Chains A and B, each alone.
Chain A
Amino acid sequence: MPARFDFSRPPFDCLTEIERSEFDEVMDLEYFAAGETVIGPDQEVDALYVTMKGGVVEAGSDDPAAYRSGAPFDTRALVAGRGTSHLVAQEDSILFRIPRDTVLALTRRNPMFGAYFYQDVAKRLAFLAHRPFQRELQSLWMARVRQAPVGEPRWLDDRASVLDAACAMRQHHVTSVLVRGAEGVGIFTQSDLRNAVIDGVDTRSEAVALRARYELHTVEEDDFLYQAMLTMTHHGIQRVVVTREGEVVGVLEQIDLLAFLSNHSHLVAAQIERAATLDELRQAARDMERMVTLLHGQGVKVTLIAELVSELHHKLLARLFAMVAPPNALAHVCLLLLGSEGRGEQIMKTDQDNALLIEDGYRHPDLPAAAARFNELLVEFGYPPCPGGVMLSNPRWRQEIGPFKRQLEQWMDHPDGENAMNLAIWQDATPIAGRTDLYEQVRMHFTRWFAQDGGLLARFALPVEQHFDTPRPLLAQLWGAEQRDALDLKKSGIFVIVHGARSLALEAGVIGANTYRRLDALARGGHLDKQQARDLAEALAFLQALHLGHALRQVQEGKPVDYRIAPNELTTLENDLLKDTLAVVKRFRAHLRHHFQLDTL
């Protein structure tokens, strides 16, 4: 069929050339006038349809699926061999018709194509949602040299001795130094040092300028990374000198380049640990952001990025607190991260949620100022302040554990509005520095109190109903092309899954704040159907991945990060997966409503 079948749209984009021509061979066209039934309920289905022109809709549904140009349907009916819903031509429509046998044979041979037809939502999402989308595919090799961790050049003057060079290397944790000699700029490396020792020179008197090499291999900082790698491989060297318009601005080590290309998280970790000043820590925070962009661009699964980032994030905040806290304070306090930071699910710096628990009776005059400084510095590092004031500079979130327990009790007495929010935020607390036992004491108190009151749990869970934002305009537009209302990913999906898991975890006494771990623990403990837990985990991962992409775009455009995604930001595949995801969320809400008897509140 030479005519107009668009193989660039998913799932057909994962077919090989040969598979495409197979498709072409068997494809027919079918014409339906407006109002005619394309697939009837329970009708035998022997073909996959793809709309060429016109549109087909589900009849008799409040929330009808619509299949417009390029949209394949009905994948469920195709696998089952029988129609599940009533599909009607919305207008005069021309459809491509691909026989069922051909499609099924291809799903078996081409796993990526096959994944599209999975009936298991979790499997489908897991397989499809994390393939790097074409538009974001950015090879690291095509990144610029300046994006890699280029080290500062360490200069020695030409009178310095070989020993001075060795000392400088140790002091700055570098493997090479630069000298300006009579012959221009030279480099002196660890292997040159080794050779000097073997040659028996007097390291104290021998001028480093004599032992340096003056044939520098350089790359411009705007060159591609692969050029740097090529230069190193070609000359069998471990580093290249980086220049900006010919002037030396740094040294790129092969080992750092390789680390950058594989997984640069450990670099940032090392950077945080080595940081001796606030400036160095700030640089690490900036590098973290870059790491997220790169990992996302490489198509790394969002849950993995979140784990890496929260790990680094915890290190960073712990290090920062240690820098600003009064000496010895860490032996008497516990620094907590709350909310999404506590759950380890915050990838972009949306806001800070933190608190400080203080040992009863411990008072240090500098503690309030240190707390305020901590929050200010975080703002400087790019973490916006929490609009709800959930920060340790706020005395309510910086208390001795006795009074803090009383406050939790008050919130539990009136678990509405802000109090309910505070309880939810608290429930996601994770200790990251200082006395973990202080946190344990408060947590035990909190859960024991909660367990005594069944009604409290229901009221805790209630916001899954109240905050829900029905994504109808988007759903109606799925597969459509026009820009309509944006969908709030948080309200429509993320919040329901996170808060539902939080509520169930609280009820079941599941320890740990991460939603994925909670879902897993709930399923293992028999508190949640295993399949449902898997569906929810994949649905959440998908929503968070969508949000990450959206947030990175906003950051790039210099806009504040929000959760409102417009339909035209999504690829057709994402649109389709989003629909699956929202159906999972809907089922979970129904489950929670029934489980906590939310209707009776």
Chain B
Amino acid sequence: MKKMLTAIALSAMLFYLPACKGKVKDADVKTAVEAALASTPGYSGLMVDVKDGAVTITGEVTEASAKTALQSTVSAVKGVKSVLDNTTVMAPPPPPAPDIAADDPLTKGVTDALKDHPGIKATVNDGVITVTGEIKAADWRKVKMALDGLKPKKVDASGLKVK
């Protein structure tokens, strides 16, 4: 009876041995996935978790295209059975804001710019210079150049008549 059990145990071992040989350890998979991510830009700082060949990736990728490519990048690694992509795409950096001058320096600058052009008037409110009156085209070009140089939010000339 004892012999019989040993035989069963032996054959069981023999049967399972080839299966064991083809299996890659989770730790090795993790290392390989991390290496694959490190060599691809946009994947820095991602966390890799492997359990029985099932890979879970968490963290932030820089772009949507990087997230799209993540699945194929990771599943190409040897020993990876499945990929769960739990990453999020980083919010894009806010666009640079234009440099707008405060109303006080704007008003002062507008006074200087209009001094030689009595035909037109301008008011400043919340960065917007509103110009009214009548002016020759060549003079208006000079005035507009000067006004734009003051860093206004906008130069509203809808009430201006250019001759």
| A, B from the same assembly | no
